[in-house]
């Protein structure tokens, strides 16, 4: 039987070895599970090269829980967050700040344009009330890659803190906390780490995290309190997703075996190159210029006349291939992911199905 391919921004296709690791029950206070948690925390911080300066704090929940915990814990109650937004995930950070009562300014770009570091510099010069800046590394709305290094340099130079939503690329796209200064990098157990969903990760700057006691709006999303807990006794404060944690460790073993984030990125780049070349042959155009597109998820313009996304989606779904609707507000589009435990054979299989379905859609309705 052919396995299901999740060509989406998550949850993603996982390996048999990762899912097999779910098949064991752990007690949350069991020394073996405490040790597993400790290994996960070190390995996740090391993926971002933050082992000397940062600590990984884990939370049960999806990626958004980690983003909400980071904003709520690390942005001072009397601070102001500047969100750099060119898509839905930037807007979500602004919505979180609004919901939890942190003052927030939003600087917006078109969904097809990268954040402009020069504009960030000007805003930080003008507005002394801004304490923290938030940016999305790969904006999953389109798959666009923002210039995080340049933004980080400007934010550091201006003496402000930076939060990086690295959710969609963590474990593959380069992100080096020795090169950029960030008070937090947010990630999750699925996406490029190729675990199963259920754990949000914040790799937080230790010196700042230590100064954030009592700052969180939330009891359960208080990163400082959870960090203190991990440091004190290695335990999660509330029921940990024990099987998900074990699956994440298995996934990290596979990341190492593959050759680390660089090798994983090379596999995704190959998926991406095959996908865009194959789709171009079938007449599908990418929404973004190649220079802005990260090899994470690709947005394609709907081809117009005769194309019916629902039929297209359902026909692919019937073949065990799941794609994603577009999230662009301007023009009709759809998205196909390049990440997860998939390789060129899987992309070839998907392209083969898409070719057949595209040919069927081109036939007038009612013919058989």
Ligand X SMILES: *Cc1c(COP(=O)(O)O)cnc(C)c1O
When the beta carbons of 47 and 67 are compared against ligand X, the nearer one is: 67
Cα separation, 142 vs 275, whole angstroms: 15
**Binding status of residue 188 toward ligand X by CB under 6 A:** yes
Parallel, antiparallel, or unpaired: how do β-strands 138-139 and 161-165 relate?
unpaired
* Burial class for 284, CB neighbours closer than 10 Å (0-12, 13-18, 19+): buried
Q: Which of 135, 136, 164, 203 binds ligand X (CB under 6 A)?
A: 136
- For residues 259 and 249, the answer to whether their CB atoms sit within 8 Å is no
Q: Which helix (H) or strand (E) holds 105?
A: strand 103-108
293 near ligand X (CB under 6 A): no
Q: Is the dihedral of CA 262, 268, 274, 279 positive or negative?
A: negative
Under the criterion CB under 6 A, does residue 276 sit at the interface with ligand X?
A: no
- Select from 55, 165, 205, 222 the one that contacts ligand X (CB under 6 A): 165
CA dihedral 44, 46, 52, 57 (to 10 degrees): 0
Does the footprint of ligand X cover residue 142 (CB under 6 A)?
Answer: no
Q: Which is nearer to ligand X, 200 or 354 (CB)?
A: 200
The two structure tokens encoding residue 213: 């006691």
Asked if 167 interacts with ligand X (CB under 6 A), we say yes
Q: Does 146 bind ligand X (CB under 6 A)?
A: no
Site for ligand X in 89-118 (CB under 6 A): 89
Q: Does 299 bind ligand X (CB under 6 A)?
A: no
Tell me the closest approach of the beta carbon of residue 98 to ligand X, in angstroms.
17
- Please identify which residue in the block is written with the tokens 């090899």: 295
Task: Candidates 63-71, 99-107, 243-251, 274-282: pick the segment binding ligand X (CB under 6 A).
Answer: 63-71
From the list 6, 7, 8, 9, which residue makes contact with ligand X (rule: CB under 6 A)?
A: 9
- Nearer to ligand X (CB atom), residue 136 or residue 338: 136
Interaction between residue 140 and ligand X (CB under 6 A): yes
335 annotated among ligand-binding-site residues: yes
Q: Are 40 and 245 in contact (CB under 8 A)?
A: yes
Q: How far apart are CA 158 and CA 120, in angstroms?
A: 10
Least CB distance from residue 136 to ligand X, whole Å? 5
The token pair that represents 294 in the structure block: 């990260």
Q: What does 201-240 look like in DSSP terms, one character per residue?
A: EEEEEHHHHTT-TT--S-STT-HHHHHHHHHHHS--SS--
Least distance (Å) from ligand X to the CB of residue 190?
7
Q: Select the residue interacting with ligand X from 13, 37, 142, 168 (CB under 6 A).
A: 168
Provide Rg for the chain, Cα atoms. Answer: 21
Distance CA(223)–CA(69), nearest Å, equals 6
Interacting span for ligand X (CB under 6 A) from 15-23, 56-64, 247-255, 342-350: 56-64
Could you tell me the smallest distance in angstroms from the CB atom of residue 197 to ligand X?
7
Which parts are annotated binding residues for substrate? 335
């Amino acid at each position: 039987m052919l396995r299901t391919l999740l060509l989406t921004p998550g949850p993603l296709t996982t390996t048999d070895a990762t899912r097999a690791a779910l098949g064991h029950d752990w007690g949350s206070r069991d020394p073996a599970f405490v040790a597993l948690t400790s290994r996960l925390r070190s390995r996740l911080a090391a993926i971002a090269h933050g082992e000397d300066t940062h600590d990984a704090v884990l939370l049960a929940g999806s990626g958004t829980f980690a983003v909400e915990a980071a904003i709520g814990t690390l942005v001072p109650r009397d601070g102001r967050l500047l969100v750099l937004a060119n898509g839905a995930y930037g807007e979500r950070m602004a919505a979180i700040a609004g919901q939890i009562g942190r003052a927030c300014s939003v600087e917006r770009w078109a969904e097809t344009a990268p954040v402009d570091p020069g504009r960030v510099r000007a805003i930080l010069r003008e507005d002394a009330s801004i304490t923290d800046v938030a940016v999305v590394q790969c904006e999953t709305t389109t798959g666009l890659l923002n210039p995080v290094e340049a933004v980080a340099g400007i934010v550091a130079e201006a003496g402000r803190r930076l939060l990086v939503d690295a959710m969609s690329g963590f474990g593959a796209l380069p992100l080096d906390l020795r090169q950029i200064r960030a008070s937090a990098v947010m990630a999750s157990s699925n996406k490029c780490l190729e675990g199963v969903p259920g754990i949000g990760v914040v790799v937080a700057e230790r010196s700042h995290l230590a100064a954030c006691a009592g700052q969180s709006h939330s009891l359960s999303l208080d990163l400082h309190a959870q960090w203190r807990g991990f440091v004190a006794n290695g335990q999660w404060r509330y029921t940990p997703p024990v099987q998900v944690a074990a699956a994440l460790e298995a996934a990290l073993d596979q990341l190492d075996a593959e050759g680390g984030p660089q090798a994983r990125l090379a596999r995704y780049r190959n998926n991406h190159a095959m996908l865009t070349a194959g789709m171009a042959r079938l007449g599908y155009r990418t929404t973004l210029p190649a220079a802005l597109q990260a090899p994470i998820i690709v947005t394609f313009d709907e081809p117009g006349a005769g194309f019916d996304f629902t039929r297209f989606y359902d026909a692919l779904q019937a073949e065990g291939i799941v794609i994603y609707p577009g999230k662009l507000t301007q023009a009709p589009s759809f998205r196909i992911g390049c990440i997860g435990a998939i390789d060129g054979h899987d992309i070839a299989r998907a392209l083969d199905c898409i070719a057949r379905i595209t040919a069927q859609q081109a036939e007038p309705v009612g013919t058989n």
